[in-house]
Structures are given as C-alpha cells and as structure tokens.
Structure 1
Amino acid sequence: MDRSKKQDSEMVQGTLDMLVLKALVMGPAHGHTIARVIEQTSEDVLQVEQGSLYPALHRLEDRGWLQAYWGTSENNRKAKFYRLTTAGKKQLAFETNRWREMVRAIGLVMGD
C-alpha cells in the first residue's frame, strides 16, 4: 500500500470507537454489519478493517460500553452480536461533544 492510500485509510485515534458506538445506536448488530454501516454512512470514505474492528469491539466490551451475545445472522450462521449499554450511550454522547469541539478548533486553526 502506498503512503497516500495508507494515510487515507487511517482513522484518528479513538475515532473508530466512537463510530462503532454510533453504528449501534439503531440496535444490536454483528461485526460485519457494524463495519458495513460505518462504510455506507461515510459514503465508503471510511473502510473498517477486521484487524481494527474486532479489537475495538473487545475493548469497548471490556470498558462496559457494549454487551455481546451469540445469535443467528441474516444468513443463518452463528454470530456474535453487540449492543450499546447505558454506559455506552453516555460515552457516545461525551465522545460526540468532544469530536465536535475538536472539529471546530481544527477548523479555526485551518481558517475554515
């Protein structure tokens, strides 16, 4: 992967966690669906690699922001589903406000 492609696909640290939490606002989903929601909502600008997604899901679960359970996917396969917890909803609100502040501050510095 050339340098520009690598830069295009990298997310600001902590952003993936926020995007995963946001993807689960509409209800429980398994990993593939979470990645697809992020990609489609971003008009395919953000690509979520499995090597980043699953560690993020486990990290969010360890922090108590997600709860995982086993269920059946759309294609009748066993899949691990994730749902937002109350603490996860609070964290998403906090992260969303922090993100907006950062975007505003960066815009000021960049002269936008």
Structure 2
Amino acid sequence: MAIKMSSELLDGCVLGILEHQDYYGYALTQRVQESADVSKSTMYPVLRRLKKNQWLTTYDKPYHGRNRRYYRITQSGKDKLVGIKKEWNQFQAGINNMLGSGEQDE
C-alpha cells in the first residue's frame, strides 16, 4: 500500500528542500523521489504552481552549452513553509495518537 501525498504536503517537501539550497528541475525531482513516490511528470506542474504563487523564483545557469533552470525559495515561500510545517506537526501528532505511540500495550 502506498500512501498518497497531498499537493500541500508535496509543496512543503519541495519548499523544504529548497530552503537549504537551490536545485535545477531534474535534480530536485530526484531529491524528492529519494523519499516519496512521485512521478517526474508530477513535479513540473508543482514547480509552476509554486512559482505562480511566488513561493519560488527561477534563474538560469549555463551547463555544458545548455541552460539549467534553477529554483530558489522566496521569503514568501519560507513563510508558507512555516505554516505547512506547523500543519504537518499537528497532523502527524493526530495520526500518531490514533495509530498508537509505538509503545506496546500491556
């Protein structure tokens, strides 16, 4: 069974990764895929949406005769990430409460 990731949570994952360093699209997709079952075709619409909401900005850098588009989190994106982290912590605590804290019942 694979648990589906909501778009809000995926947004948070992308913003969280970009909080630490800028990535170009393919490398960012690979980084997300290290921890989540997300297709490559899912990532670019996510990046477009985050940019449209002004949570990301882009810049190009030449690489072997081509340009790579890099993504950078904005201050607005950092603010959004704080909210997502807060919601995630509340959600996680609720789920852990329902599933049990990991302690065995006696």
Bin of the TM-score, shorter chain as denominator length: 0.7 to 0.9
Match of 2:104? none
CA distance in 2, matches of 1:36, 1:82: 14
Match of 1:30? 24
Query: Structure 1 residues 9 and 34 mapped into 2: Cα distance closer, same or farther (>3 Å)?
Result: farther
Match of 1:81? 70
CA distance in 2, matches of 1:48, 1:80: 20
Shift of 1:56: 0.4
Gaps of 5+ in 1: none
Q: Secondary structure at the residue paired with 1:81?
A: strand
Q: Secondary structure at the residue paired with 2:72?
A: strand
Larger radius of gyration: 2
The TM-score normalised by the length of structure 2 is 0.82
Match of 1:97? 86
Shift of 1:93: 1.1
Q: Secondary structure at the residue paired with 1:26?
A: coil
Structure 1 segments (4+ residues) deviating >3 Å: none
Query: Structure 1 residues 60 and 94 mapped into 2: Cα distance closer, same or farther (>3 Å)?
Result: same
Alpha-carbon RMSD across the aligned residues, in angstroms, is 1.8
Q: Secondary structure at the residue paired with 1:47?
A: coil
Q: Identity rate of aligned residues, in percent?
A: 27
Query: Structure 1 residues 65 and 104 mapped into 2: Cα distance closer, same or farther (>3 Å)?
Result: same
Q: How does 1:59-78 map to 2 (within 5 A)?
A: 59-73=49-63, 77-78=66-67
Q: Secondary structure at the residue paired with 2:6?
A: coil
| Structure possessing the higher relative contact order (Cα contacts under 8 Å, 6 or more residues apart) | 2
The TM-score normalised by the length of structure 1 is 0.79
Gaps of 5+ in 2: 102-106
CA distance in 2, matches of 1:76, 1:47: 32
What is the count of residue pairs matched by the alignment? 101
